[in-house]
Amino acid sequence: MAHFQFLAGLLILLLALAEGTRLHRIPLHRSPNFKRTREAILAEQLYVYHKYNLTSTANGFPMEQLSNLDNLQYYGNISIGTPGQVFSVQFDTGSSNLWVPSAQCSSPGCVQHRQYYSNMSSTFQSNGSVFDITYVLGSVAGFMSQDVVTVAGLPVKNQTFGEVTTETGSNFLNASFDGILGMAFPSLAANLATPFFQNLYHQKLVQQPVFSFLLRNNGTTASYGGELILGGSDPALYRGQLTYVPVSNPEYWQFFTDSIQMGNTLISRGSAAIADTGTSLLLAPIAQYTQIARIFKVNSQGYFRCRKISAWPTLNFRINGVSFKVPPQNYVLQEGTYCTLAIVSSNQEFWILGDVFLGLYYTIFDVGNQRLGFANVNSGTAPSQVGVVLMVLAFIVLRLWVH
Ligand SMILES: *[C@@H]1O[C@H](CO)[C@@H](O)[C@H](O)[C@H]1NC(C)=O
Ligand SMILES: *[C@@H]1O[C@H](CO)[C@@H](O)[C@H](O)[C@H]1NC(C)=O
Ligand SMILES: *[C@@H]1O[C@H](CO)[C@@H](O)[C@H](O)[C@H]1NC(C)=O
Ligand SMILES: *[C@@H]1O[C@H](CO)[C@@H](O)[C@H](O)[C@H]1NC(C)=O
Ligand SMILES: *[C@@H]1O[C@H](CO)[C@@H](O)[C@H](O)[C@H]1NC(C)=O
Ligand SMILES: *[C@@H]1O[C@H](CO)[C@@H](O)[C@H](O)[C@H]1NC(C)=O
Ligand SMILES: *[C@@H]1O[C@H](CO)[C@@H](O)[C@H](O)[C@H]1NC(C)=O
């Protein structure tokens, strides 16, 4: 009996360990500089316009007042080369390339960040094709290189990435991260470089072609901003059922909503939307934004008169028959006696759902089945405790069962 108990206990321990090795976790930092202000919203709006190749809409705003992009708030560590050189990158489901500053770059935006030294890496291979990514307040340009890129201890060989040699403008000046690691589909990638996650899967470093994000939008000082899980998802991080929705156009993580409502007002039926971890805002097609702005009586500067936050309606995205609510606490922000929306307009026919939405809903990016899964974030328990509690419970249950 004692023997059996011991063996069964060992089995459970091994299963728990196997489960642990199947998923690979990258803790995410939340930018300490993050502050959502009207100015930061406008800066980000322009940034997102460029990312999605949108043109500016009628409500013009002063470019020179725009602050930098501290509002691109979540990032984590990766390493490149052998021995590994550490970089912090934004894991961005709204783009498909990886780039970091090159040692050969002397632009202010490069020298204030960590830079990649290919001559210090024994696994570096030159590629040399040039790239140029334009952002609204400048651009990053350089050439492609190949090297080992390690994320959460998983070494991807021959990953093609951009070495930035010139960074013009103020896009990434003072940014909390060094570079960007794109996690959208391959067809979006500049120079058709295979994105990191596709190589990770093809090199069999994860078993499932799935990754998932928990973005914590609550608390400003917590260094634990959430986590990115490679190779699957962790049911301890969400509660209730998952709702899956097919990707309708596998370039961005794009899908169709059933309907979108602001309180009792129907804003749209069947609108497309994109899940973008590299954006903090919500962007709405102009006509739909206008309808929302009318409810709040937003003025031409983007402000409206505040009232008790809970008196504003809840924004409700219906996805595959299930309601995903965004309460006013998450999309209204108060600046003195005036309030502003973390929702802006775009001249495209799709919504862009950034952290305002993704911070409330655990999101599974299922590359293999080309679908997205959403569930309520489990805000009750710290994730590190959950595994321990489950293991202890498993031991107790097993002991009872064996007796
Ligand atoms: C951006 O849109 C314009 C037209 O609005 C188009 O000419 C251009 O090719 C697009 N650029 C990209 C990178 O898609
Ligand atoms: C970057 O930070 C420096 C020092 O804090 C500040 O003077 C400068 O205005 C910032 N630049 C941008 C573009 O935010
Ligand atoms: C990322 O790396 C930096 C420098 O090596 C380290 O200080 C920081 O704690 C790391 N962050 C995480 C989340 O591992
Ligand atoms: C590596 O390259 C950098 C500039 O790109 C240079 O300053 C440095 O001396 C080089 N180091 C070695 C060991 O060659
Ligand atoms: C990486 O590139 C080297 C040299 O081109 C090649 O020998 C090797 O098979 C490649 N490895 C993978 C996993 O693609
Ligand atoms: C450079 O990278 C691109 C994209 O991965 C690839 O198509 C091309 O063959 C590479 N060129 C060289 C010289 O390795
Ligand atoms: C943050 O979490 C606490 C406790 O879970 C909750 O009381 C508070 O309302 C939350 N704040 C925001 C802004 O979501």
Residue ID of nearest Cα to ligand 7 atom 3 = 218
Choose which residue among 100, 118, 119 to substitute to test ligand 4 binding: the one with the highest number of ligand atoms within 8 A of its C-beta: 119
pLDDT digits (tens, 9 = 90+) for 173-223: 778 889 999 999 999 998 889 999 999 999 999 999 999 999 876 544 445
Are residues 115 and 219 located together in one domain of the fold? no
Are residues 250 and 376 located together in one domain of the fold? yes
Stretch 67-87: mean pLDDT? 81
More confident residue, 57 or 302: 302
What does each C-alpha distance from 30 to 40, 271, 286, 328 come to in angstroms? 16, 30, 30, 22
pLDDT of residue 51: 79
Which of 58-67, 116-125, 287-296, 327-336 has the weakest average pLDDT? 58-67
Q: Phi/psi zone of residue 296: left (φ > 0), alpha (ψ -120 to 50 degrees), beta?
A: alpha
In the three-class reduction of DSSP (H, G, I as helix; E, B as strand; rest coil), residue 173 is classed as coil
Of 146, 171, 205, the one marking the end of a domain is 205
Here the tokens at position 111 are 């020298």
Strands 154-167 vs 98-101: parallel, antiparallel or unpaired:
parallel
Answer whether 166's CB lies under 8 Å from 107's CB: yes
Within 8 A by CB and 6+ apart from 45, the residues are 61, 281, 283, 344
Q: Is 330 in the pocket of ligand 6 (CB under 6 A)?
A: no
Here the tokens at position 158 are 């021959």
Stretch 327-341: mean pLDDT? 92
Q: Which helix (H) or strand (E) holds 226?
A: strand 226-230
Residue tagged 């608390």 (tokens):
219
Q: Is 157 in the pocket of ligand 5 (CB under 6 A)?
A: yes
Of 174, 205, 236, the one marking the end of a domain is 205
Q: How crowded is residue 266: how many other Cβ atoms within 10 Å of its Cβ?
A: 12
What is the pLDDT of the chain when averaged over all its residues? 85
Are residues 32 and 120 located together in one domain of the fold? no
Assess whether pLDDT exceeds 70 at residue 92: yes
Are residues 391 and 283 located together in one domain of the fold? yes
Stretch 114-142: mean pLDDT? 90
Are residues 178 and 90 located together in one domain of the fold? yes
What does each C-alpha distance from 256 to 140, 186, 253, 262, 293 come to in angstroms? 32, 21, 11, 17, 23
Q: Which helix (H) or strand (E) holds 198?
A: helix 196-202
Number of the ligand 2 atom closest to the C-alpha atom of 170: 13
Q: What is the pTM of this model?
A: 0.86
Are residues 33 and 98 located together in one domain of the fold? no
Are residues 273 and 392 located together in one domain of the fold? yes
Of 205, 234, 265, the one marking the end of a domain is 205
C-alpha angle 54/71/227, rounded to 5°? Answer: 105
- Looking at the structure of the chain, the number of domains it has is 2
- Omega before residue 83 within 30° of 0, cis: yes
In the three-class reduction of DSSP (H, G, I as helix; E, B as strand; rest coil), residue 161 is classed as strand
For residue 363, the enclosing domain spans 1-71+208-403
The whole-angstrom separation of Cα 360 and Cα 339 is 21
346 DSSP β-pair partners: 285
The whole-angstrom separation of Cα 74 and Cα 94 is 13
Q: Is 160 in the pocket of ligand 6 (CB under 6 A)?
A: yes
Are residues 260 and 236 located together in one domain of the fold? yes
In the chain, pLDDT over 70 holds for what percent of residues?
80
Answer whether 208's CB lies under 8 Å from 232's CB: yes
Q: Phi/psi zone of residue 42: left (φ > 0), alpha (ψ -120 to 50 degrees), beta?
A: alpha
Are residues 201 and 296 located together in one domain of the fold? no
What does each C-alpha distance from 57 to 49, 97, 289 come to in angstroms? 10, 27, 11
Assess whether pLDDT exceeds 90 at residue 327: yes
Nearest in space to 346 (alpha carbons), one of 137, 136, 49: 49
Here the tokens at position 311 are 């008196």
Q: Is 16 exposed, middle or buried (0-12, 13-18, 19+ CB in 10 A)?
A: middle
Read off the CATH number of the domain in which 16 is found. Answer: 2.40.70.10
Residue ID of nearest Cα to ligand 6 atom 11 = 127
pLDDT of residue 69: 56
In the three-class reduction of DSSP (H, G, I as helix; E, B as strand; rest coil), residue 46 is classed as helix
pLDDT digits (tens, 9 = 90+) for 259-311: 999 999 999 999 999 999 988 899 999 999 999 999 999 998 889 999 999 99
The whole-angstrom separation of Cα 350 and Cα 194 is 26
Are residues 167 and 222 located together in one domain of the fold? no
pLDDT of residue 110: 94
Are residues 93 and 105 located together in one domain of the fold? yes
Which of 39-43, 59-63, 90-94, 152-156 has the weakest average pLDDT? 59-63
pLDDT digits (tens, 9 = 90+) for 344-399: 998 889 999 998 999 999 999 999 999 999 999 987 544 444 444 455 555 555 56
pLDDT of residue 71: 53
Could you tell me the pLDDT band of residue 67, with boundaries at 50, 70 and 90? very low
Q: How many CA atoms lie within 13 A of 102 on its CB side?
A: 21
Residue tagged 């202000």 (tokens):
37
pLDDT of residue 239: 92
| Catalytically annotated residues | 92, 276
Number of the ligand 7 atom closest to the C-alpha atom of 329: 13
Are residues 306 and 162 located together in one domain of the fold? no
Here the tokens at position 130 are 């040039």
Which of 55-59, 172-176, 297-301, 326-330 has the weakest average pLDDT? 55-59
Q: Is 329 in the pocket of ligand 7 (CB under 6 A)?
A: yes
The whole-angstrom separation of Cα 383 and Cα 380 is 9
Could you tell me the pLDDT band of residue 401, with boundaries at 50, 70 and 90? low
The whole-angstrom separation of Cα 45 and Cα 38 is 10
Assess whether pLDDT exceeds 60 at residue 6: no
